[in-house]
């Protein structure tokens, strides 16, 4: 799903932002993991990930690092869309991930 109904942001600006994000992540971790961004505007980012074998742990479950990379990348791209005029960057100060798993006795 592509969200383009954002008040005050033209479809062209949204598409330009998405194209920039896709080009910038090419060859880096977000690109290698296949993150696809469907909406980007000031303070907002939406995307998707088609889970494939490379995203799984050897146990067959989704690898927690995939989830953390998706969350960190989404937060970073959201920050990029929200930087004030003249700002050149930002850094992640803290990132926490708590996972709860359910197991059966089978």
Q: What is the pLDDT along the chain (106 residues), one digit of tens a residue?
A: 223 333 344 577 778 888 988 999 999 999 999 999 998 887 788 999 999 999 999 988 889 899 999 999 998 888 888 888 888 888 877 888 877 765 555 5
Among 73, 68, 67, 27, which residue's Cα sits nearest to residue 51?
67
Spatial distance between the Cα atoms of 14 and 3, rounded to a whole number of angstroms: 9
- Domain range for residue 67? 11-82
Residue 90 lies in a domain: no
Residue 65 lies in a domain: yes
Q: What tokens were used for 52?
A: 């494939």
**CATH code at position 25:** 3.10.129.10
Spatial distance between the Cα atoms of 39 and 44, rounded to a whole number of angstroms: 8
Residue 38 dihedral angles phi and psi, to the nearest 5°: -110, -15
pTM over 0.85: no
Residue 88 lies in a domain: no
Residue 95 lies in a domain: no
**Where does 4-51 have alpha helices with state H?**
11-25, 29-33
Residue 98 lies in a domain: no
Residue 75 lies in a domain: yes
Q: How many domains does the chain have?
A: 1
């Amino acid at each position: 799903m592509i969200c383009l109904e954002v008040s005050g942001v033209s479809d062209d600006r949204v598409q330009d932002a998405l194209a920039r994000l896709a080009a910038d992540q090419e060859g880096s971790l977000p690109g290698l993991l296949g993150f696809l961004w469907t909406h980007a505007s000031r303070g907002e980012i939406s995307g998707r990930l088609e889970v494939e074998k490379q995203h799984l742990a050897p146990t067959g479950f989704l690898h927690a690092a995939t989830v953390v990379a998706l969350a960190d990348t989404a937060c970073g791209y959201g920050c990029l869309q929200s930087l004030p005029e003249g700002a050149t960057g930002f850094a992640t100060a803290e990132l926490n991930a708590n996972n709860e798993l359910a197991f059966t006795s089978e």
